[in-house]
């Protein structure tokens, strides 16, 4: 007699409830878990790389300060978010606890109203569960990407079986998804629910079941809480184009579903109203400055040429760029053919996807954000992150449909070549990022080039010998090796050169008794990084002045000779050189 909860039960549950095999689930969870979590957290390869850039430590610090304010407010009323009982006093105390520290994002004790609060709320939850750290600050993005990958897999298995596993694993292994899934930022908080909501809408379009339409409103609300009005605008733009091109305006009308609208408003409005009431400048700062002006002007110094997102798309899809572009072209051709059929009473012959609206939907979904943001004056790579998943889905479906015929030789060679090139470039990354060697040593160049050629040859050999169904596996092998090489073998070196974490630790060891840290002419990322790792705002000589008390000064080594004039006769002492980032650290004594 077999156990009710044995392997047989698990296989049957996966097949009947999720429509997939247990082996597919094992591969999905194993590969996705590796790409999303390896060397991200202490329990899985170690948190090798600290927070980098200006956004990661800044957003993490906001979440930390909001959690501290929330904990303090809850402590004052002796309550938790869930009330102790149904008595009015306990319910009111829980309401005070819920609202405490969760409405206004704060940075260094002051309101920070650039972004909505979804990332901060999720980071607060992970901080409370695992403690405040750089890796727990990245879990909101990693978990959001995991939800996207898993739900996209299940959706495709339900509606487009065959290429579902390919699409999910291609999605998680693109440079764009992999990078933003490991960042403490708001980009994945928008992209993941946005894409899940779009898939849900198409599920409703194909089946007519309101269950799928629920996804559009629920995850659309989550995306609005992540980045603001850009989420519903992009959703509406894509749906209007799709329904308009298909002349199915009734589908757009039926999308307006009263329970969904109420759900969306119930999720979105409470926070927007509450933050506006507490911060009268919120509407101007968030909607006018950080949405309209960010799009229409170069106020935030992010100007890029109009073709910028074409370059971002090519790099973000690596190493699947060649296959993704070919799949996109194929889908465009299918869409055009479908459009001609709809405008011609005679049914055309010879096409395998007649009557299928999914390629057209994915094409519009992929292209609309790219075209829209190409006209923006301020451009950042994360803006078009929602365009990557539909391209991954098209690629997985294309590979499935070409299994019998095989890939054209030129396409297979191009895909193998791009994978080999990516292998070659990433193997050289530590040489350039650490030692600034654009042209590496001959020995290094030879062995990295050889591994790049080996990766390309392996793909061509396996696919030609065993078929297209193995292109996913044979491409993931070098990518998995590159991840191990960059973050496990060289993670600490990159940490020393690009994160403020090692510097903060050295300052704490050299001067544990000095609470104040000041900076002069350091990079913004180092500025915010020191503030996060020391949990305090750093003092800036040029804007805040020179503190009267004893403090630590971080200054570029090339400017160290300016210290006597800066401190105006005060005694100072060099603590150490931080050569990996060209910095000198000094102890500045107080006034006599």
Radius of gyration, CA atoms only, the chain: 26
Q: Is 278 helix (H, G, I), strand (E, B) or coil?
A: helix
Task: Please state, in angstroms and rounded to a whole number, the distance separating the CA atoms of residues 582 and 62.
Answer: 28
Q: Could you tell me which of 343, 366, 340, 327 has the C-alpha nearest to residue 468?
A: 327
Take residue 173 and report the two structure tokens written for it. 């292994």
Q: What is the 3-state secondary structure (H, E, C) of 371-423?
A: HHHHCCCECCHHHHHHHHHHHHHHHHHHHHHCCCCCCCHHHHHHHHHHHHHHH
CB 89 within 8 A of CB 560: no
CB 291 within 8 A of CB 233: no
Q: What is the 3-state secondary structure (H, E, C) of 25-82?
A: HHHHHHHHHHHHHCCCCCCCCCCCCCCCCCHHHHHHHHHHHHHHHHHHHHHHHCCCCC
Half-sphere exposure of 562 (CA within 13 A, CB side): 13
Q: Is 252 helix (H, G, I), strand (E, B) or coil?
A: helix
Give the pLDDT score at 90.
84
pTM of this prediction?
A: 0.91
Angle at 587 between CA 583 and CA 592, to 5 degrees: 145
Task: Please state, in angstroms and rounded to a whole number, the distance separating the CA atoms of residues 554 and 545.
Answer: 14
Q: How many helices (H) and strands (E) does the chain have?
A: 27, 7
Peptide bond into 41 cis (omega under 30): no
Half-sphere exposure of 126 (CA within 13 A, CB side): 22
Q: Is 553 helix (H, G, I), strand (E, B) or coil?
A: strand
Give the pLDDT score at 321.
97
Cβ density class 358-388: b for 16+ within 10 Å, e for less = bbbbbbbbbbbbbebbbebebbbbbbbbbbb
**Beta strand pairing status for 551-556 and 539-540?**
unpaired
Give the pLDDT score at 569.
83
Q: Where are the alpha helices (DSSP H) in 299-387?
A: 308-316, 321-342, 358-374
Mean pLDDT by 10 residues, the chain (592 residues): 51 54 91 96 90 95 96 87 84 86 93 94 96 96 97 93 94 97 96 97 92 95 96 97 91 94 97 95 89 76 85 96 97 86 55 67 97 91 96 96 93 97 92 68 88 96 94 96 94 92 96 94 94 94 92 95 89 93 94 73
Task: Please state, in angstroms and rounded to a whole number, the distance separating the CA atoms of residues 66 and 107.
Answer: 9
Q: Which CA distances in Å does 47 have to 358, 511, 567?
A: 40, 25, 38
Q: Which CA distances in Å does 313 have to 53, 177, 193, 365, 384?
A: 21, 12, 20, 14, 8
Phi first, then psi, for residue 384 (nearest 5°) are -100, 20
Give the pLDDT score at 433.
72
């Amino acid at each position: 007699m077999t156990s009710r909860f044995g392997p047989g039960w698990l296989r049957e549950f996966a097949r009947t409830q999720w429509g997939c095999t247990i082996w597919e689930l094992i591969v999905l969870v194993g590969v996705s878990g590796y790409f999303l979590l390896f060397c991200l957290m202490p329990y899985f390869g170690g948190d090798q790389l600290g927070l980098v850039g200006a956004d990661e430590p800044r957003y993490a610090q906001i979440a930390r300060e909001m959690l501290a304010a929330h904990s303090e407010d809850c402590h004052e009323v002796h309550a938790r978010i869930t009330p102790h009982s149904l008595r009015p006093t306990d319910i009111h105390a829980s309401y005070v606890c819920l609202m405490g520290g969760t409405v206004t994002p704060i940075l260094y004790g002051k309101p920070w109203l650039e972004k909505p609060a979804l990332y901060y709320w999720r980071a607060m939850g992970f901080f409370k569960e695992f403690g405040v750290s750089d890796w727990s600050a990245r879990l909101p993005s990693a978990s959001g990407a995991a939800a996207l990958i898993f739900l996209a897999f299940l959706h495709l298995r339900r509606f487009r079986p065959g290429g579902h596993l390919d699409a999910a694993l291609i999605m998680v292994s693109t440079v764009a998804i992999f990078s933003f899934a490991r960042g403490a930022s708001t980009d994945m908080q928008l992209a993941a629910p946005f894409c899940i909501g779009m898939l849900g809408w198409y599920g409703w379009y194909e089946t007519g079941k309101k269950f799928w339409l629920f996804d559009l409103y629920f995850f659309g609300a989550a995306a609005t809480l992540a980045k603001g009005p850009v989420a519903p605008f992009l959703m509406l733009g894509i749906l209007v184009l799709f329904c308009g091109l298909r002349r199915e305006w009734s589908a757009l009308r039926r999308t307006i579903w009263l329970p969904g609208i109420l759900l969306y408003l119930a999720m979105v409005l409470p926070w927007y109203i509450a933050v506006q009431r507490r911060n009268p400048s919120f509407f101007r700062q968030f909607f006018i400055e950080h949405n309209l002006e960010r799009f229409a002007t170069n106020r935030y110094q992010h100007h890029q040429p109009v073709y910028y997102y074409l370059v971002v798309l090519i790099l973000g899809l690596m190493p699947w760029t060649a296959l993704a572009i070919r799949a996109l072209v194929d889908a465009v051709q299918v869409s055009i053919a479908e459009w001609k059929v709809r405008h011609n009473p005679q049914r055309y012959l010879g096409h395998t996807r007649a009557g299928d609206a999914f390629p057209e939907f994915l094409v519009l979904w992929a292209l609309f954000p790219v075209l829209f943001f190409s006209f923006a004056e301020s451009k950042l790579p994360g803006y078009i992150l929602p365009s990557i998943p539909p391209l991954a889905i098209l690629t997985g479906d294309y590979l499935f449909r070409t299994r019998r015929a095989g890939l054209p030789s030129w396409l297979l060679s191009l895909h193998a070549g791009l994978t080999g090139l990516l292998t070659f470039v990433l193997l050289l990354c530590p040489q350039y990022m650490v030692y600034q060697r654009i042209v590496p040593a001959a020995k290094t160049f030879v062995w990295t080039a050889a591994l790049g050629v080996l990766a390309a040859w392996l793909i061509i050999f396996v696919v030609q010998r065993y078929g297209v169904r193995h292109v996913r596996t044979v491409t993931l092998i070098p990518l998995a090796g590159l991840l191990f090489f960059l973050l496990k073998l060289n993670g600490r070196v990159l940490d020393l050169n690009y994160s403020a974490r090692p510097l903060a630790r050295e300052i704490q060891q050299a001067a544990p008794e000095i609470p104040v840290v000041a900076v002069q002419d350091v990079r913004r990322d180092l500025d915010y990084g020191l503030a996060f790792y020391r949990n305090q705002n750093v003092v800036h000589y040029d804007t805040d002045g020179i503190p009267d008390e004893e403090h630590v000064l971080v200054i570029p080594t090339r400017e160290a000779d300016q210290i006597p004039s800066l401190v105006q006769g005060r005694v100072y002492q060099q603590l150490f050189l931080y050569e990996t980032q060209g910095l000198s650290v000094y102890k500045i004594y107080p006034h006599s």
